[in-house]
Amino acid sequence: MRKILTSLLLMFFLFMGRNVCCQADEISESELYARSACLMDADSGRVLFEKEAETQLPMASTTKIMTCILALEQGNAQDLVTVSARAAGQPRVHMGAEEGEQFLLGDLLYALMLNSDNDAAVMIAEHIGGSVEGFAEKMNLKAAEIGCTATHFVTPNGLDAEDEYGVHSTTARDLALILRYCIMESPQKDLFLEITRTPSYTFWNNGHTKMYNCTNANVFLGMMDGALTGKTGFTADAGYCYVGALQWEGKTFIVSLLACGWPSNKGYKWSDTRKLMTYALQNYEYRDVFDESPLPVLPVENGQYEELGIGEEAVTALSYGVPAGELSLDLLLKEDEQVEVVRDLPQTLAAPVRQGQQVGCVRYLLNGQVLKEYPVFAERTVEEKDFAWCLRKVEENYRL
């Protein structure tokens, strides 16, 4: 009886252990504290997991990633910035700079991203945009350029605000797209990463009368191997927010969280970030899904070329425009995800056809979403049959 009970218990624990392992690989919306969350593949911009990722919410100081990248792209680190009364009056967290003080723009970017100083954000905005409102216009233009569909900037620091066009807000998806731009696409991506990864930074005002110290508040940098960058945020309306990136074994993931608890739930954002990043690392791997099957040879109606016989049908081979051996498509996929290959090609072509003319495409889809599209080209020129060509072919046959 003892042996039977022992065997049954052993089987029970093995079964439970197997279930726990399976469940550990999955994640559900209910497991996250954040009201809105997005896990994104930084290489492709594909959303891998979402929880109300299209819900527009305030985003607090995560706003400052946009402020930083615009300053890097449109300013100069050696520019001298003067503190206005508006900048000096910003609430905590702030440098406490006084009206009339001057700083190098490059130094202010560390105060912006490490300490999250609100006055530094206004100084930068007024210098780059002429005013806070002018800079907000630049922020909104850049957001649209990046592909954000539900983002509205009012301030450069993320303090709760509203104008005639709406509330200062974004979505988890848009916020992830903005960080993706900062670290993957911007011409200043390397400098953005250098600033946001710096543990601490010290600088002086231009008069060398006061020293300022900055300490990086991004706990995530020391929390997981491969942690790349990120920005925290908190306001009364937004709650705790976070956007961060991790790079490991050739994979780069972005997590964005909005409304992830209020005091005293400061640690919720780190729990959610770790959970989503772990899920991504455990479940997604790169696979080459390129379809190597040959493209068809298409008949060309009423077509002709010199070597074609008078009773033969003109044809042209198709290609992708590059050698077949150079083509590959590495996509970040879960084990059970299968990519659908759709060949949008005609059955026949009509003369004339030109070499290099696009005649169709091959699309790669996942769950109905187009992940990649390859144009397909004709490999040869095929002219339209005319009287001169027919006469020439009759003469050739007659000589034979």
Where residue 22 falls among pLDDT bands split at 50, 70, 90? very low
Least confident of 20-29, 134-143, 237-246: 20-29
Strand pairing report for 349-350 and 297-301: parallel
How does pLDDT run across 169-204, given as a tens digit for each residue?
999 999 999 999 999 999 999 999 999 999 999 999
Q: Give the DSSP H or E segment for 70.
A: helix 64-74
Q: Is pLDDT at 240 greater than 60 in this prediction?
A: yes
Q: What are the DSSP E strand ranges found in 64-182?
A: 80-82, 102-104, 162-163, 166-167
Coil, helix or strand for 111?
A: helix
- How confident is the model at residue 167, as a pLDDT? 97
Q: Which amino acid is at 180?
A: R
CA pair distance 365, 342, nearest whole angstrom: 8
Q: Is pLDDT at 3 greater than 60 in this prediction?
A: no
How does pLDDT run across 368-396, given as a tens digit for each residue?
999 999 999 999 999 998 888 888 878 77
Q: Does the N-terminal peptide bond of residue 28 adopt cis geometry, omega within 30 degrees of 0? A: no
- How confident is the model at residue 9, as a pLDDT? 40
How does pLDDT run across 148-172, given as a tens digit for each residue?
999 999 999 999 999 999 999 999 9
The better pLDDT of the pair 144, 387 is held by 144
Burial string for 96-128 (b: 16+ CB within 10 Å, else e) reads ebeeebebbbbbbbbbbbbbbbbbbbbbbbbbb
**What is the full DSSP assignment across 344-394?**
E--S-EES-B-TT-EEEEEEEEETTEEEEEEEEEESS-BEEP-HHHHHHHH
Coil, helix or strand for 92?
A: coil
- How confident is the model at residue 400, as a pLDDT? 54
CA pair distance 29, 308, nearest whole angstrom: 64
Question: Whose structure tokens read 């729990």?
Answer: 271
Q: Is pLDDT at 236 greater than 70 in this prediction?
A: yes
